Amino acid sequence: MLVKKLSDMGFRSEHAYTGAFVSIGLSFLSWMGSRKKESKGLDRADRWGIFVGEWAPTFFGLGLALREYEKK
């Protein structure tokens, strides 16, 4: 149902894959930026990178689901 709705809205598997790769880059950038500016220490900087990095598997999963739906 969600995949059909996303497809009807014009969201394609390529968009999801792009989002996944962008989130990987953002994860690295947020980790580096937080590492230099975070006053709470390295642990918190690591958590920022991990938080954003967890978006990538979600986007990859959506991309796979949309790709299967697009084959129909």
- Whether 39 shows a pLDDT value over 70: the answer reads no
Q: How far, in Å, CA of 67 to CA of 52, rounded?
A: 24
In this prediction the pTM is 0.78
- Whether 68 shows a pLDDT value over 90: the answer reads yes
- pLDDT digit string (tens) for 45-62? 677 778 778 889 999 999
- pLDDT digit string (tens) for 6-32? 999 999 999 999 999 999 998 888 877
State what percent of residues in the chain have pLDDT above 70.
Answer: 85
Which residues does 34 contact at the CB level (< 8 Å), separation at least 6?
44, 45, 48, 49
Please tell me the predicted confidence (pLDDT) of residue 38.
Answer: 62
Report the candidate in 72, 23, 71, 11 with the shortest Cα–Cα distance to residue 50: 23
